[in-house]
A and B are shown apart, each in its own frame.
Chain A
Amino acid sequence: MAAIVEARELTKVFRVAKDRRGLLGALRGLFSNEGRDVKAVDRITFEIAPGEFVGYLGPNGAGKSTTIKMLTGILHPTSGEVRVEGKSPQRSRKEVVRRLGVVFGQRTQLWWDLPVRDSFELLAAMYQVKPEAYQEILKRFDEMLEIGAFLDVPVRKLSLGQRMRADLVAAWLHRPPVVFLDEPTIGLDAVAKGRIRAFLKEINRTEGTTIMLTTHDMDDIEQLCSRVIVINHGRLIYDGDLEGMRRTVGAPSTLRVEYTRTLETAPRGPWTVLAHEGAAVTVAFDRSQHTAAAVIAELSRYGELRDIYMAEPDIENVIERMYRQVM
């Protein structure tokens, strides 16, 4: 199937002004062109097919947001090209964004001082959504995200979870075929995250919306994305399914257990002992080889467990590890 989103040799270079000291330095900085170039995005190429749910990963400052901003027409690439439904979001911005949805997790797109409903109505007007279609979609979203309860509350009075739900509805009001989500679960508690994931899964399935999502949460990726693209230092370092990524990285997980009594020697098993102090033991194991349950069962043979603490592989670590392997 033809790609709905394409990036070809996409590159963005930012010019960082040379840091000058003092007032005189600041004045000179105004007129000089000195500085150094930083490649935020470096020759990235990928294609996304209609209906795909893609996770876009990378550590902070890897160039994720810069890429999303070029895909949505906010930034102009230094070189290379973007195509959304075959059109350039830079050259035909208005035409392209009419069929896009965008959510920036850190910043709401809603009118801060007005009730949620007012924002929805303004957006419906902006995207020329017909009144019947608007009512229908509002009803459907209320079933999925329970937004009815706070439709008449000003946005500034919403909790973070409610605000994110409202922002998601706002992005989908005009039923865009492509939606970009930049950190949609950032700062949310487990319940709110779960609700948003369920919504995204459902809407991707029923509406066939192509979704590209950036996140720091490994669970977002595991539960939602059929494909992941990883970048670091502006370069694409992995593009494929999650299993493949696990294989490349070895996905280490750490498990910390506390026994009811002090252990004389560290337990031995298919893991590496990271720390052992009295009754507390921390081990690292390979998730692609052993399940957490099996490791816990094995550990409990050494004594009764009082407490278990599971640490997911931190995405920054995973990517850092991946980057080292690729190099």
Chain B
Amino acid sequence: MKLRLDAYVDLASPLHCWEPRCKLVALTALIFAFSFVRELRLLPAMLAVSTVLYVLSRLPLSFLVARLRLPGFFFLVVALLLPFLSGTTPFFHLGPLVVKKEGCLHLLLITVKFLSILTAGIVLFGTTRLLTLVKAMAALGLPTILADMTVFSYRYLYEIGDNLRAMQTGTRLRGFRTRSFRGLGTLASLVGTLLVHSYEQADSVFKAATLRGYGRSVSSRGDFQAHPQDLAGLLVGLLTAAAFVVAEMFLRQWGGKP
């Protein structure tokens, strides 16, 4: 399983050097501010902010494009339905079908929002190791059980993925093909075996982790130190997020129709 989330975390951009807690809070605020936007007039600003973030992160464009493939299918379905189903004002005719203006505008809104949120998310998780971000979340108050479960699960994800691949290869070599419902029992046994292996492995993991000090209360606050430039970045991020929320409320209240 090639997850490659950490592929570019060792670059040296300003976003890579940003203190993880400040980055997490600022970019999360920005992501939620983007999701608050419903005014079409704010879409260019949203795209501009996310583009600036991505350029500053120095992540390659291919990294972003590769991550658009899977959600792209969902958006394809939405793009095929929404312009025909949503709204009442005819925009243009496509043979016997009527394309509605409201549907097209709605499609534009959700597509730009999706792209902007996705870009900010990729900047957040593409410029810091996931485990560092989980530690930052724990330092910001994430319950210990959730933080520990996230770290352990991530640690063994690759290993269990490899186990599954080995088992699938084994079943294929013995002539098993998943072509009909009759294979459901074999697939259930495969998943059951994977669960049993993982459960048995967990005992040794717990013992090894306990020997390394797991369970003793250690504060993760000391792991991070924010410098003035980190706090300045946090302030800029929060002010930008607040600006989107205020502009959205202002335009909804007094801006009239675009």
A, B: real partners? no
Chain B interfacial positions (CB closer than 8 Å to A): none
Chain A interfacial positions (CB closer than 8 Å to B): none
